[in-house]
A and B are shown apart, each in its own frame.
Chain A
Amino acid sequence: MTAHAEAVAHAAHDDRPFIRKYVFSTDHKIIGIQFLFLSLFFLLVGGLLAMGIRWQLGFPGQPMPLGGWLPQSVAPGGVIAPKTYNSLVTMHGTFMIFFAVMPLLVGVFANYLIPLKIGAPDMAFPRLNMWSFWLMIPSGALMLTSLLVLGGSSVSGWTVYAPLSATPDYSGVHLGQQLWCISIVIFGLSSLLGSVNYITTVVNLRAPGMTWFRLPLSIWALFITAVLAILAVPILAGAVIMLLFDQTIGTHFFQVDVGGQPLMWQHLFWFFGHPEVYILILPAMGISSDIIANGARKPIFGYHSMIYAMIAIAFLGFIVWGHHMFQSGMNPTLASGFMVSTIVIAVPSAIKVFNWLGTLWRGSIHFTVPMLNALAFVAMFIIGGLSGIFMALTPVDMYIHGTYFIVAHIHYVLFGGSLFAVFAGIYFWFPKMFGRQMSQRWGMVHFVLTFIFYNLTFFPMHILGVGGEMRRIYDPTVYDFLRPLQPINVFITISAFLLGASQLVFAVNFLWSVFRGEKTELNPWRDNGLEWTTPSPPPHGNFAETPRVYRGPYEYSVPGMTEDFLPVNLPPAAGEAA
């Protein structure tokens, strides 16, 4: 294989020093892998914090196993203190959303896949890309430090509602909340640098023949996500800077007794926060679409409508933020407007689900580990989408707002949706990243355990919500009407521990396979994508020569061909239309 030999030869010429090659690297593949390790670490941190939350809810007031190791101020006698609980809730959400799921989807897959899938040698701005990763280090370090400083970390929820977050008089937290703000501003900068890069790269560096409507849906999704991020993240950064000024230099943006406006925080936060929800789900949709077409050995059903649906979601995503604020004191007529826009955004989501079903219909479905995870994404996203309709209707939202119904909904979308897609993507592109396969058998075990315990953990939360259990309360047994629900909490806690333990299978499989996994063949999934036409891992510069693209990415099981896949760069045979 000459392309392979040339690429190897090219790689051999790569004489950058170690530190430029693997540490301060400008290579999008190394940066993607750096993001992968960093965000998996934060996934672990966020998951451990969740275990603390679940212990307290399942067994309120009882000493936590290993709790005796914590300082007395945090867990007196091993029992989680109320302030510690609020801190756990806040930091679980913060780490999961900003430092685990978002970098897993965007930092990892946008970086790794965009140049490889569009046939580019690297990103348009490799140095900006390096900065985008290296800014995440101080950002994450500051957020971790905030757990250790005097007064503890932020305790006002990941949404840090003002004025609770705006002054230590109300929260009892000084430095922790300020570090939270500074960390998020740096995070925002990292996210913006990345997004500028993704957009520019997709617009400018597509290989010859790679037209817009030949882009894989994963690339479309990551592109649209980058546009969302570039429009939404500055709003978050601005709001957080205002919040920081309120705490440090005596401004009063959110403090009412001196002319501020608490609802302004909520408007600014959710104007970012709702597009953020789609930032967290669109890449998952794109990744799953690619993997489902590959696993079903069929073209994606309704390729164009999949793209238009994502564009519609992105657009509508900016005019639905008010649905987080139906009960906030916002004008009820305005709330009605937001109810209609929110209901309408369910339509493109439904279109996507039907198109995935259409893709499976009359396919030849290979149940590989990535395929199973991608299918779980679809199955769970259906539940998360349907439960969203309850909240979209203002009168129903009035009852379930701020209850465990919401907690169930967000986890069906973010864990059942996004994280299953992340697992699918990792299993699928692991051979590309490391040149080795993850164990499929242990991958299967991990999938089955995760799928079962995930549902046992989060589905019963819907029942808690209907029972009226509020989220973010330290001890539900304070309330008479919640005490009968306590057995459900115990059940959820045990399931959550098992769900957490199941991730050890993934961790071991992942680390073991990086070093000892079976060497992979050139195209293990028999995929059409350009990334599988270059060796694994690809050399610096990706392609020995610039590839040429002749067709769309989903030409599987084309009639009259012996193979059931048709790589995008294979020159058309005589008679086939290019």
Chain B
Amino acid sequence: MKREKLKKIEGLRRLREKLAKQRAAKKSWVIISSGTCGRARGSSKVVQAFKDVVKKHNLEEKVNLRITGCHGFCQAEPNVIISPEEIFYQRLKPEDAKEIVMETVLKRRVIPRLLYVDPQSGERITYKKDIPFYKKQHRLLLENNLMVNPKSIDDYLAIGGYKALSKVLEKMSSEEVIEEIKKSGLRGRGGAGFPTGKKWEACRRAKGDVKYIICNADEGDPGAYMDRSLLEGNPHTILEGIIIGAYVIGASEGFIYVRGEYPLAVENVTIAINQAKEYGLLGKDILGSGFNFEIKINRGAGAFVCGEETALMASIEGKKGEPSQRPPFPAQKGLWGRPTNINNVETWANVPLIISKGADWYSRIGNDKSKGTKIFSLVGKINNTGLVEVPIGITLREVIYEIGGGIPDNRKFKAVQTGGPSGGCIPRELLNLPVDYETLTKAGSIMGSGGMIVMDEDTCIVDIAKYFLNFLREESCGKCLSCREGIQRMYEIVTDISEGKGKEGDIELLEELANVVKDTSMCGLGQTGANPVLSTIRYFRDEYEAHIKYKRCPAAVCKGIISSPCQHTCPIETEVPVYVALIAKGRFEEALDVIRKDNPLPGVSSRVCHHPCEEKCPAKEVGKPISIRGLKRFAVDYGLRGRIKKAIPLKQTKNQKIAIIGSGPAGLAASYSLVQKGYPVTIFEALSVVGGMLTVGIPAYRLPKEILNTDLQVIKDAGVRIQTNASLGKDITIDGLFNQGYKAIFIAVGAHKSLKLSIPGENSEGVLDSLEFLKAVNLGRAVNLGRRVGVIGGGNAAVDAARSAWRMRNCEKVSIIYRRTEMEMPAFKEDVESAIEEGVEIQFLTTPTRILTQNGKLIGIECIRTKLGEVDESGRRRPIPIKGSEFTIDLDTLILAIGEQPDLSFLNNNQGLEVSSSNRIMVDPETFATNRKGVFAGGDVVTGPNTVIEAISAGKTAAISIDKYLRGESLKRRYSVTRPSVYVEPVELTEEEVAETKYPSMPRLSPKERANNFKEVELGFSEELAVKEARRCLRCDLERKEEKE
């Protein structure tokens, strides 16, 4: 179609009206997103499919297709919106086109299969306006991406395009425009936030007959792409903004400096410029106003630093893209020494909006310091990835949780990096921070161009700092010594830290260096380049310290420290990759030896360990984590089936007697380690049975007694003496033990006191506490249990109690009452699933208010429903009672399982030991030494209720401390990076195995088979399954093989 050059503003108005009328005649549109990200997910094929369908069925008259730029919701690409009601279909395939046309477009019927599903509620959402991602946004700029085909200037004119330009040319003087922009409060969207009006004014006032105007579209931040989206989706808005700007400052030539990596943006802008020229909106004597203006496109070669204005100008001039010192500012001496005005894409896009709708309207959006909206690209560990346009001043929480939909897989939010590599990490505590220029700068970050990279708990902060430093050291132009050398040196130091080679003083050196780099660098890149380091140190100093001092990477990411995530995460650093590799090779006995080497209670661990190793297993990224506990169990069972080598009593080489109080996992682990070192060790156990919580707390269907006994036998055979019915405080005392000649004492009495709910009626008949109940069941004592049993709590004790109750003969119904949802439940996931499988009812989001009694006997419980509110200190969302939702549950027995505490009543005046307010013995967390000489403590009595493997770890570490103490050495611990002791060659997988996606699952008893008995539920892998599972291991440990010590 040939476009006629418009010579008058009037002509443009008439054309606009004509186009608007044509457009209004078409009521319904099929709006197909086809930006770069959409195309990457196959939107071109979808577009073609729609075109084919329309052509095949001759529907050109009835179906109006509009192929647009990006709709912002990357997660849902390719997507289609059916106007006018805006039905939103997502993640389309070419095959869906026909159905959409036939059903929705022609018959107005919704296709549920293609609708968006809210990940939180699971509901299907029909209309775009109801989708949480769009609901909270304020889409001034991005919404127009839906309205126009970017390749058609007529589309833009039909929705009122170039109206602002007409207004400026017709009615406004340059001063008035500048005044209007100033009044609107628009600030540079490129990151620095300089008031746009002021910038224009300076350039307008600068002396010079030739002036230039530049649109900065060199968007180089990793994870930021809002400029691309605007250029691709609505190029005419930007052109209109630039033309207005040029008119105001008196420029005759303009440049769009766009990244060479944005081919679609370049294509669309080129088309837009040509179309604007055809209409006479660019070129000589624009709309008869006598104003001449041309725009040229410059494609950047991909240097991040060319986003800096002075470097950008150098690049346009054909020089090396290097910044130069300001002043002189570009407004005085810019491109080729002439006054130049540079603004970012998003800033330009805002200009027509302000002119046509007015500064007053615009300045009502935003907060007191910054006006208008800002587009952020929300990426990283977030449910709804995409471009988000929000009023400036909105809180980070709203952006991340309400629009972004929170973190996938319900993992914990850790930090958000705003402003790309030169920005900073903002931690969870500052989630309520309003997003504006000043606040972010104060928090140690920057607004930047608007990248928001969300990180969860699996992200290591040191690794993040390293990543950004690596980006910056490559992208620094290298002119300033401070930026080039400074960032390189920071990178070296952080790399050392991440490899476990960090030294004391490194953090301070980093801070000192970072501040100098910030202070002395010439351009914005260097001045902000230190932000990732400074902000991560500011908010996550402990994580740096963990890397440097303790050689730990809490997120299990830094390869140089962790070797493999499983081994590193294990509290006793069991060499998981080694034994898994040995199982894969069929060398089962050796595998068992490897397990035994670090773990004194392999049988117990193979049944009840909560396997933190599996949580961090990288195999989960492509399917399921390796069933590490299942494999351990296989090795242990293999040992049981064969002849277990009876442990020979270890030779006693030392004569300092050691007393261990408590025979739980901590006590057993400590005693075994000390016997191995040659000490005579005696365990004093208050109960008549050995094993502590393992025996009385964990039901037999999870940990069979014979497995526990096998482990105990090994420890006994090694030479540990055990004295039962010896209760501390009653039968023995600390002083008494010292008097008897014991040289060191390890207290590991556990946490055996149930907490109370403190609601009325708690002491009625029929109310039990979980520990009391489990103990009775485990010791085979008779328990008087009613038909309907309620359990209050969400921890392991609650689930164990419920499942044990369910196994009792006279019990008919068991309900767990928990105040949060399954996601927040602290009990092990598998156990919760098993409980549900068995028929235990779980009342989530319910909290008890009153225990109902009759004649002092329990008859039921009154509860209230809750909903989840804000995230509290524990990182979980706080339950809030819903008024008027009270209801009652009839019960015969109620078991309270809301938590346990150590019972320290035995300590008369604490026997000189320091005790915390929550009844825990205070120890040095590194050495487990108490304030009393020769007395050590560990396990639940120190930490409160904790896992078995943590207790074993505490016992082992305390044993090392006790040994050092008895040898008169300093207790100070030395830390080293995790490494396996041997490297086992990996197995070679066949191609079928690599392609295999079905994984072995643990065979289990059916719920029917579990009724009324305490048989072990999990049956263990067969040899074939175990080998198959072990062969799946990705062998992370091999990555750092060269550093074997």
Same complex: no
